[in-house]
Structure formats: structure tokens, C-alpha cells
Structure 1
């Protein structure tokens, strides 16, 4: 970037591209202020050089919106995301891949705020357009289907979530393979849908498949493998199958590096509290995760205290009947037995 600035000038397209790349590197490290500062410089320079509605400017605006999203600055992310989406529609067309990406990004901003209806509306449009434009089995189409299924799941619309989840699994098996990480992720999501409906046998069957496939594909000590084992242990706990739950929980504990996990999860939780607020959905998720880690480390008192706080805040933020509230309550209930 420095060489290009000296050699070609601060507003040369190649210089601006290098600045945008560096901003992306900062963003991936969580260095939000530096990413934002550089991102704003790129946007202003490109506006002067290329015009306000040039595709390159839309890309840099979308990147900056993503930086805001990662900080939980929802209003700024939404405002910028709407600009990108509307300009993309006018400039590139409603069914252009870049337009659809901007719609999906905006839907994600709504999703992270629990604005399910707005997220759903956009996700449906993206899914239908991608089906027509790219085909029903295209990876991007399947990703949008999985996103919509997740939105249904968060609203407790189990039948719709299940129907869409099954479609994604079957298509990914054919397109990517039965042991592809994306296929396994969609299977894990469907198992979670079954768990939330109390369909224990189906949840167990699918959970076991995911564990075995992840062990072979990723290894027994991979975080995704351990997460699927922990999920199955939770399924056993909810059925009162204490010995099986304990056995699986011990396997996870013996394989996991709990101290490192605890340290990271504490950092995530504290940063989320400061940046997003104590009752933000992402903060609540990090609290839930840390509580489970403490329970697995036999820090029972700390785990229950944190989970009680998590339940109280989740009830206030998302409602008593929300899947996340019910899941936290089930965990807390099982720990108290």
C-alpha cells in the first residue's frame, strides 16, 4: 500500500484496492477502528474517482457495513446495507449476484437483532431468485435455504425448519458429499430441530451420524466433533439417560482443552458485553457456552450462577417460549438434579 501510494498516487485504483485489502485484514483480526478508518478512506476516494454508484464503491460500502455488524452497530450497518442493496438493484439489477449478496447481508443484520420477519422476507427473496438464477442445488442457493431454516428455527417454526433442513441435507449430500463439513453442519442443525421438539430418537440417530462422520473427517479432537458430542450428551440428559450423558460428557472433557476454551469464551463474553450489551443475543450465546464449559470442568456453582443469569436475560430479550430460552432452562434443570 505504501509503495503504491508513493508510486501511483493515493487515489489510484490499485492503491485503493490495496487499502481495501488491508482493511479486510484488520477486520478479520477484530481491529475494528483501523478497519473502519481505512474503509472510510477507500469509500471517499472511490466516490471522487469513480462516482457514487460504481460497483467498487458498493463493495467497499458492504465491507464497512460488515465491520459495523461485527461491532453490533446495527443502525449504521443497516443504513449502509440498505444503501448498498438499493443502489445494487438500480445499477446491477435485482437478480445480480452482488445484489443478492447485499440482500443476504442485510438479512443477517436483521437476524442478529432478532428481527425475524424482516430477515425472513429478504431471505425468501434471495432463496427464490437464486433457485431461478443459479439452480436449486447451487451452493449459494443451499446456503440461503439453510439461513432461512435457521430463521424458522429461531421462531420455533419447527415443521418449516425441518422441511427446509431436509432439503438442504439431501441436496448437499448429492452436490458436496455426505461427509462434507457443510452437509454435516446442516445435519447437526436438523438434529437440534428434533431435540427442540422432543423427538429424541431422531435427534440421537442424526447426532450419532454427525459424530462418526466428523471423527473420520476432522478427527476426534476437532472442535466441531466435540460440539456434536456435547449436543448428543445434552439429548441424553433431556431423556434422563444419565449414564450415557455422563460417559459422553467425560469423553468430551478428556479430549477438550478446557482451560484454553474457558479463557477464550471469557474474552468473547466480556468483549460482547462491552461492545454489544449484556442482553445482546451474541452475548447471551457466549454466556451459555461458557456456562456449559464450566459445567464440564466441574465448576458447578459458577456454571449454574451464569446460566441463571443467562436464562433471566434471555427471557427478557427473546421471550419465555424462545428456543434459546428453553434450551438454557433445560440445561439448568438437568444440572440441578
Structure 2
């Protein structure tokens, strides 16, 4: 497969085939990210050569863009942030020149660049990128658009990570008011920003506001028929934890019991999330003074874990 043809037309077809193989290897998550990186890199290199040696065509440029985007994603997956930063910078420069600064593809790649910079620990630069993103998103889609909300929450989280708690809390509460003004939770894209904001407010002990957001996320998941999705179960578990912190142990027990029962039904036996859910419920039992039930449930969780290790 790595034998390069001679003619430009065959080179182009070879690069496309190699890209498809790289994409499949990347999506399969079966210890094949190294092969995906090699194939995507070779595919991009060939297209770069074609782009410089032939009269530039929209077709080649489009394929080159997609190969570069895939390769940058593979680098992020492998925590190769320096390599990914170089490719993202190339992508953003190209997109701003060809499509404009406010095009969705440009903004999406800026958001990915922020992820790369965060992985490198360059928090101040992340803040600058996220600030630009929020301003551009607001101009295009408005303050209530899911993408605007997502970047706004990420900016608040950056401020929180920088220990600029007043600024983070002010922005977080402003976002909460914006989310309250959104009448419909049917848009799946609204779930992620609400969840992220809830996590930030939870870390700052804003338990009432966190509960409000978790409840809205669960309501949205129910409307979208995601009741049994692992993400929904995770939110339910988080909400049960809020109830524990508020001393509402009976409500915590009821909700965490639903998490355990649903997890057993929809996940494979011995799944680590089932074990964790059982351990959390056992801690709720202990707080309620039900020590015997707590011990029995912890033993059941250990037995689950043993069976998992034996398979």
C-alpha cells in the first residue's frame, strides 16, 4: 500500500485510498492510531506535493484540508500537542484566507486549537483564543446559540483554572441566566454546555444552581430518549451526589438505585461504571446508618470486579 505510483492522477487516488484507511484505523480505536498517523501523514505529504507541482485545484485543496484535519485529530488522540498545534495553525491560516474568519470551519478549528493549547498547559493563550471565539460566535449566532454557549462556558472554566474566581463566577452566572431564557431543551447541542457549566458551579459549591442545571440536562435527555445512555446515568449519579451534599439522603438513595439498576440492565456485566455506581450507593447506605446493606452491596461490587478480571 505504501508503494507510491508515478502519475499525478494515480498519486491522487492513492492518497485518497490511504486517507480512507487512516480514517478507518483512527475511528476503530483498536490499537491502530500509530498506523492511522502514518497513513494520514503520507496521504497529506503526497497531496502537498501535488498541490505545489500542479496548478492548484479546489478538489486537491479540499482533500488536503481534510487530510490535515484528520492528522491533527490523530495527534490530539496521541497527546502529540506540538505536532497538532503546527497543523491547526496551518488549517486556521488557510481557512481564514479562503473562507473567512467567521466561517464555521474556521471557528471549529480555533476551538480545536484551544484544546491543543490546553493540553500544552498554555492557559493564557487558551483564554485569548476562547475570548476571540466567543466574540465571533456571538456576532454570528447570538449569545444563546449552543456553540456560543459552549465556548463561553469553556472561557469561564479557564478563568476558574487561573483562580480568577470572581470573573469565572460572574461569567458562569450570566451564562446560567442565558440558559434559563432558552425555552426548549430539544437541541442535543445544548446538553454539553449545560453539563460543563454545572460541573464548574459544582466545583465552586453552587449546589442549588448545579442541581438546576443537572435537572435540565436530565429533562433534555429524556425528551431526546437518551434515558439509558451512559452520559445520562453519569448525570444522574452527579445529581445524587448533590443530594448527599445537601443532606437529602432518601432522594440520593432513590436516584442512585435507579443508576445501579439501569446500569446493570444496559451495560455489560462487570462494567466498571456498574461497580462504581454500586460503591456510591453503598456509601449512601452507610450515611443512612444501613451498615449491613452497605457491606453487602460492597461485597457484590467486589464480586462483579473479580468476574470482570477473570473474563
**How far has the Cα of 1:100 moved from its partner?**
2.8
Which of 109, 131, 135 matches 1:128?
A: 135
Q: Give the Cα separation in 2 of the matches to 1:27 and 1:167.
A: 39
CA pair 115-261 structure 1, distance change in 2 beyond 3 A: farther
Cα distance in 1 for partners of 2:203, 2:102 equals: 36
Task: State the match for 1:260 in structure 2.
Answer: 268
Equivalent of 1:57, from 60, 64, 68?
A: 64
Equivalence for 1:169:
179
Q: Which residue of 1 aligns with 2:10?
A: 10
Structure 2 segments unaligned to the other structure (5+ residues): 282-296, 303-311
Indicate if the aligned counterparts of 1:20 and 1:39 stay in contact, CA closer than 8 A: yes
1:23 matched residue in structure 2? 22
Which residue in the other structure is 2:290 paired with?
none
Cα distance change, pair 109–29 in 1 and its aligned pair in 2 (3 A): same
Task: Return closer, same or farther for 1:107/1:168 CA change in 2, 3 Å cut-off.
Answer: farther
Per-residue CA deviation, residues 76-96 of structure 1 (Å, 9 max, x unaligned), is 222332333344445655444
User: What are the Cα deviations for residues 55-96 of structure 1, in whole angstroms up to 9, with x where unaligned?
Assistant: 543432232111010111222222332333344445655444
Task: Confirm whether residue 295 of structure 1 aligns to residue 279 of structure 2.
Answer: yes
Separation in 2 of the partners of 1:243 and 1:202? Answer: 20
Is the contact between residue 145 and residue 164 of structure 1 (CA under 8 Å) also seen in structure 2?
no
Larger Rg: 2
CA contact (8 A) 2:26 2:36 kept: yes
Any idea what the Cα deviations from partners look like across 1:227-263, whole Å, max 9, x if unmatched?
2211111101222333322222112111113873864
Q: TM-score scaled by structure 2?
A: 0.71
CA RMSD between the two structures: 3.8
> How far did 1:41 drift?
1.6
Partner of 1:35: 36
Q: Distance in 2 between matches of 1:290 and 1:124?
A: 39
Larger relative contact order (CA 8 Å, sep ≥ 6): 1
CA distance in 2, matches of 1:292, 1:153: 28
Distance 1:190 1:126 in 2: 17
8 A Cα contact 2:199 2:210, kept in partner:
yes
**Residues 253 and 91 (structure 1 numbering): CA distance in 2 closer, same or farther, change over 3 Å?**
same
**Structure 1 unaligned blocks of 5 or more:** 266-288, 304-337
Does the CA-based 8 Å contact 1:211-1:225 persist in structure 2? yes
Q: Which of 84, 95, 102 is the aligned partner of 1:77?
A: 84
C-alpha distance in structure 1 between counterparts of 2:278 and 2:247, whole Å: 21
Instruction: Report the equivalent of 1:106.
Output: 113
Question: Measured at CA, do residues 122 and 29 of structure 1 come closer, stay the same or move farther in structure 2, by a change above 3 Å?
Answer: same
Alpha-carbon separation, structure 1, partners of 2:129 and 2:208: 34
State the distance in 1 between where 2:151 and 2:115 align.
11
- Which residue of the partner structure matches residue 306 of structure 1? none
Taking a change above 3 Å as real, the CA distance of residues 86 and 242 of structure 1, as seen in their structure-2 partners, is: same
Q: 1:166 to 1:254 in 2, by over 3 A?
A: same
